[in-house]
Amino acid sequence: MPRPRSAALTDGELRIMRVLWDRGRATVAEVVGNIDGPRKPAYNTVLTILGILEAKGAVKHHRVGRAFEYEPRMARGEARRNALSHVLQRFFDNSPEALILNLLGREETDPAELERVRTLLAESAHPERQPARKATR
């Protein structure tokens, strides 16, 4: 029995989604040509992954001439939330506290980052006092 599809993106899916997020829409050939890194996947590999992404609801396609153009249906923020939920469930038993403690326990944590976390925690305790925030990528 096949394992259920995860809403979180695999490494290969993420590479393709980054191209689509940056370009807005692209053909398979354009995706292959714009993937970062020294090793470009084969055309057929990208086509297969785009099919998987479409089945997940992350992309949609439409015909342009003889080619298909793909565009993202999943925003970067949604992909981040899905990935974080996956990590939280899989490695931290759905405990945000365990995740945060693990992140803050790193030796290389910058004091400025810690102060920003403190500010965010204080704001989340009093949502009525939160200033409007800019959306992050």
DSSP 103-127: HHT-TT--HHHHHHHHHHHHHHH-G
The residue with greater pLDDT, 66 or 101, is: 66
CATH class entry, domain 1-94: mainly alpha
Rounded average pLDDT over 96-124: 82
Residue 133 has pLDDT above 60, yes or no: no
pLDDT of residue 121: 83
* pLDDT classification of 99: cutoffs 50, 70, 90: confident
- Among 85, 47, 82, CA closest to 68: 47
- Degrees (nearest 5) of the Cα angle 136, 19, 23? 80
Q: What is the pLDDT of residue 73?
A: 97
Q: Which tokens is 19 given?
A: 């191209």
More confidently predicted of 105 and 62: 62
Task: Give which of 3, 45, 7 is closest to 16, Cα–Cα.
Answer: 45
**What distance in Å separates the CA atoms of residue 55 and residue 6, rounded to the nearest whole number?**
11
Amino acid letter for position 9: L
pLDDT tens digits, one per residue of 68-94: 999 999 999 999 999 999 999 999 999
Parse the chain into domains and list their residue ranges.
1-94, 95-130
Residue 66 has pLDDT above 50, yes or no: yes
pLDDT digits (tens, 9 = 90+) for 14-52: 999 999 999 999 999 999 999 988 889 999 999 999 999
